């Protein structure tokens, strides 16, 4: 079945560091891909998405590019802030319109 694999956390960085969180997927066809963020004590928020190969999703300085060749959707940010501390989930949308999530990556940014 469809699945998503994220890099294991937790990830701890200093403020202004470069961030990469790896995400790869296995799916039938070419699903839409998403990154969701969960801040402490809150629900999931959509961070960005891409619906087809080579699309780049971007929001709040975060970017991810849909790579069909490597079945990847890595999340990047050039300069992280303390406020970016959260849990990040990569997900795909199956043909049956269901979201399949990765295991989540906890990110902590130190000042």
Partner 1 sequence: GAVVSQHPSRVICKSGTSVKIECRSLDFQATTMFWYRQFPKQSLMLMATSNEGSKATYEQGVEKDKFLINHASLTLSTLTVTSAHPEDSSFYICSARGEGETQYFGPGTRLLVL
Binding site for partner 1 (CB under 8 A): 32, 36, 41-46, 49, 89, 93, 97-104
> CB of 16: closest distance to partner 1 in angstroms?
28
Min separation Cβ 103 and partner 1, Å: 5
Between 96 and 111, whose beta carbon lies closer to partner 1? 96
The least distance separating partner 1 from the CB of residue 97, rounded to whole angstroms, comes to 7
The phi, psi pair for 82, rounded to 5°, reads -55, -35
Cα–Cα dist 80/105, whole Å: 15
Give CA–CA dist 79/27, Å, rounded: 31
């Amino acid at each position: 079945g469809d699945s998503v694999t994220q890099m294991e956390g937790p990830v701890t960085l200093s403020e202004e560091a470069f961030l990469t969180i790896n995400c790869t997927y296995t799916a039938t066809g070419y699903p839409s891909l998403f990154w969701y963020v969960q801040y402490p004590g809150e629900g999931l928020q959509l961070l960005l998405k891409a619906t087809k190969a080579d699309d780049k999703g971007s929001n709040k300085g975060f970017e991810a590019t849909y790579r069909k060749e490597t079945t990847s959707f890595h999340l990047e940010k050039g300069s992280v802030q303390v406020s970016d501390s959260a849990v990040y989930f990569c997900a795909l949308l199956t043909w049956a319109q269901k979201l399949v999530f990765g295991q989540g990556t906890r990110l902590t940014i130190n000042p």
